[in-house]
Amino acid sequence: MSDALLSREFSRLLGEDAVKTDEPMSAHTSFRIGGPADYLLRPSSGRELQELVLLCRERNLPYFIMGNGSNLLVSDAGFRGAVIRLGKNLSGIKIDGERIHAQCGALLSTIAAAAMNESLAGFEFAGGIPGSLGGACVMNAGAYGGEMKQVLERVTVLDESGQICELAAGELELGYRSSVFQKRPLIALDAWIRLRRGERSEIEELSQDLRARRQEKQPLDLPSAGSTFKRPEGYFAGKLIMEAGLRGAGVGKAMVSEKHCGFIVNAGGATAEDVISLIHLVREKVFMQFGVQLEPEIRMLGFDPSDAGRKDSL
């Protein structure tokens, strides 16, 4: 439960409107699942974020940095700590020639639209990814042959010591759905993206084609956290799951999408426990049939460490 004294400290720092207590996370994730966080905090500048993180550390309060909540499963019990949401308050975008400077809360779709308006090519792949720039840096987000690694030039971060500094692309250790952010407690504040000049009509045509392909193949009509599993080397997760006979399989109200087996969807009132149990079932059956270990791509928050064995292994 939240503490009234700490709530007042957060309100003095951010303003009362930027602080919520005992906030249901189901209202803030694309999965529409999750119990209450003790605090949901919305800083509006890098300086506020810096002071907020330092305050959490000083008070020994666990905290989690959240973007658009599109790749996140929060436990039914919620999160005992502060969820710091970097969203609309940190979503500025500026164009400088063939480069885009954007804050971490900017949506990828908004950045892609800004790039197209300036006839800048190379960011079309990201236009349909329902996430923020900060989350995309953390996960090296990608789709349709493109990934952030191809366009990121440098990222401004809040480092382990609470200092703001810049990391060049080569220091980000970007790999398949991985980055230095997953190895060190760094927080992305903003980033420079380098693109190239192109024909607006061609950029718009490619963007529309990718959007149509996404709508045709992905279950966008039901809540989910995007692709549930990473692509195993030499395979496609969705194909393995389908061939294991799991299309439409469910636990409670969580279901393997009938449209794309790589997605677990909330069919209406699913709990986090439903999703975790279904992930375990899918991993077990795929491993038994094909000997392939599926690794979850979605991030998980608020789960008891004692449950890690069931979440992360067979």
The answer to pTM > 0.85 is: yes
Domain end (from 71, 88, 105): 88
Which residues have a Cβ under 8 Å from the Cβ of 24 and sit 6 or more positions away? 34, 35, 36, 78
84/139 same-domain check: no
Specify the pLDDT at position 313: 41
Specify the pLDDT at position 2: 62
81/119 same-domain check: no
185/123 same-domain check: yes
Q: Which residues of the chain have pLDDT under 70?
A: 1-2, 305-314
Specify the pLDDT at position 304: 76
Contact 170, 140 (CB under 8 A): no
Dihedral in degrees, nearest 10, Cα atoms 121, 125, 127, 129: -160
Could you tell me if residue 224 is inside a domain?
no
Could you tell me if residue 110 is inside a domain?
yes
Could you tell me if residue 226 is inside a domain?
no
Q: How far is CA 302 from CA 73, 74, 133, 134, 269, in A?
A: 9, 6, 23, 20, 19
196/249 same-domain check: no
Identify the DSSP state of 298: S
Instruction: Give the CATH number, domain containing residue 173.
Output: 3.30.465.10
84/101 same-domain check: no
Domain of residue 114: give its range. 91-216
The Cα 264–Cα 260 span in angstroms is 9
Q: How far is CA 140 from CA 7, 130, 233, in A?
A: 34, 14, 17
61/83 same-domain check: yes
95/211 same-domain check: yes
245/293 same-domain check: yes
Residues tagged active-site: 177, 227, 297
112/138 same-domain check: yes
Instruction: Give the CATH number, domain containing residue 277.
Output: 3.90.78.10
Domain count, the chain: 3
141/179 same-domain check: yes
Domain end (from 88, 107, 128): 88
179/261 same-domain check: no
8/78 same-domain check: yes
Specify the pLDDT at position 311: 44
Domain end (from 52, 72, 88): 88
